[in-house]
Structure 1
Amino acid sequence: MAEYTIILDRFDVAIRLGIHPHEAEPQRVRLSVEMTVSYPAPPAADSISEVLDYDFLRDGVHQLARGAGFALQETFVDAVAELCLADPRVRQVKVRSMKLDVYPDAQVGCEVIRTR
């Protein structure tokens, strides 16, 4: 068995996320995702068909961003984690979201770790 960590880091997306009136419009949110992935063996053919193609995650997050939005960062990171865990090779996922523009002197975020 071969285990790898697939990382999507500093992925900025505009999404409706929050409970305050000024958050009704999409705002910048930075995502970091780490997926622990198990394969039966290390990739030998150097082919994408042997491994997890992370395009599904980026596309899925863009689709979430086009939707109705989320009131809570907790439900947003859970939705991203669920996207990742849809692939049975993903054993664990860590998702972190950071609202970049809520405060002038800080970013606010949430992180979840889900394990199969």
Structure 2
Amino acid sequence: MHSQITHPRLLDCRRLFLRDYEVWINIGVHDFEKKGEQRVLVNVDLYIPLALSTPTADTLEEVVDYDFIRRSVMDRVKQGHIHLQETLVDELLRTMLAHPRVRAARVSTEKPDVYPDCDAVGVEVFGIKDNA
């Protein structure tokens, strides 16, 4: 997922991203999908104001740790079955926006093994905080 920062409220932000994070998750509405896990690719972009993410002492505490993104995805995967990709991306978006330094986020999921004649089917959602 490539992103252009075009929203005026994101011009003073840096973008952190997790690209093509492959997870195996029990996801789907069909009976055959409920019997096992499927491969899902997760992409996350976080937009963090430069004022909250520009290190002066070169320490991890001064920035948003990439582990937050990855761990949040894994925590949701471990919770068990989910029917819809839409639900998954909405939940992950809420988690990302709950971080106090994050102003906006984009989350997408792709199921690359659903159809043999296309790369993937997926869902993407974007959110921006009103007060950040």
Q: Same fold (TM over 0.5)?
A: yes
How far the C-alpha of 1:40 sits from its partner, in A, is: 2.5
Query: Residues of 2 paired with 1:7 and 1:57: CA distance?
Result: 8
How far the C-alpha of 1:39 sits from its partner, in A, is: 4.3
Q: Retained in 2: the 8 A contact 1:27–1:99?
A: yes
Query: Residues of 1 paired with 2:102 and 2:78: CA distance?
Result: 25
Q: Retained in 1: the 8 A contact 2:44–2:69?
A: no
Q: Retained in 2: the 8 A contact 1:57–1:83?
A: no
Match of 1:111 in 2: 124
Write out aligned runs for 1:90-105 (5 A).
Answer: 90-105=102-117
- Which amino acid counterpart does residue 16 of structure 1 have in structure 2? N
Following TM superposition, the consecutive aligned residue runs of length 4 or more in structure 1 with deviations greater than 4 angstroms are none
How far the C-alpha of 1:98 sits from its partner, in A, is: 0.2
- Which amino acid counterpart does residue 29 of structure 1 have in structure 2? V
Residue deviations 1:44-65, cap 9 Å, x none?
1111110001212211211211
Write out aligned runs for 1:54-69 (5 A).
Answer: 54-69=66-81
More helix by share: 2
The structure 2 residue matched to 1:53, chosen from 59, 65, 72, is: 65
The structure 2 residue matched to 1:18, chosen from 18, 22, 28, is: 28
Where does structure 1 lack aligned partners over 5 or more consecutive residues?
Answer: none
> What's the Cα RMSD here?
1.3
Paired residues, number: 115
Scaled by the length of structure 1, the TM-score of the pair is 0.92
How far the C-alpha of 1:92 sits from its partner, in A, is: 0.7
Q: Secondary structure of the residue that 1:90 maps to in structure 2?
A: coil
How far the C-alpha of 1:95 sits from its partner, in A, is: 0.5
Residue deviations 1:12-71, cap 9 Å, x none?
101111101121111000011100011436211111110001212211211211212211
Task: Say which is worse superposed, 36-45 or 79-88, in terms of deviation.
Answer: 36-45
The structure 2 residue matched to 1:3, chosen from 13, 35, 60, is: 13
> Taking every aligned residue pair, what percent have the same amino acid on both sides?
38
